[in-house]
A and B are shown apart, each in its own frame.
Chain A
Amino acid sequence: GNSVTQMQGQVTLSEEEFLFINCTYSTTGYPTLFWYVQYPGEGPQLLLKVTTANNKGSSRGFEATYDKGTTSFHLQKASVQESDSAVYYCVLGDLNTGNYKYVFGAGTRLKVIA
């Protein structure tokens, strides 16, 4: 079945530092990959999305590149701000085959210190 692995449970950075969150996935289908962000007291919201047709996505200064060879979909940001403190989820959807059960990674809690 489909699976997603996020190894980092928590990341603490100072403002303006570089962010890298590791995500690897496993699927036998045609993945659409998402990063969702969840702020306290809110539901997850879409940060960016990448399909096999376009290997890279970006939003609000965040970037993620889909690498089929290494089955990775890492999230990066050059310079974080305190307002980026949230939980980030790597999400796999095998949507072309109609598998609507998004698979969520365990989440990475980012804390940015001013």
Chain B
Amino acid sequence: ETGVTQSPTHLIKTRGQQVTLRCSSQSGHNTVSWYQQALGQGPQFIFQYYREEENGRGNFPPRFSGLQFPNYSSELNVNALELDDSALYLCASSRTSLETQYFGPGTRLLVL
């Protein structure tokens, strides 16, 4: 067990809706990263937060946004959902940006 939890485990939304996914990092881990994993692919980096500030972003549009809170929890928000947003969303926590990232179990999002 990594100590990283995510909720919900599964979610079904329709195109155009908005979704919020949640993550609770390991205690003492100031960095949280979010990844999107399509079926049969490796995880793709969405963005990273360090001490509540965005600290790097991958090739994802602005409708993907995030928040990190002082209590080691974080959120990934996706607006105007598209069918291609269907994927496993993973959060990973680490003590700093360049230390090992420990992943949660993921949230499986299906957009219809």
User: Do A and B belong to a common assembly?
Assistant: no
Binding site for B on A (CB under 8 A): none
Binding site for A on B (CB under 8 A): none
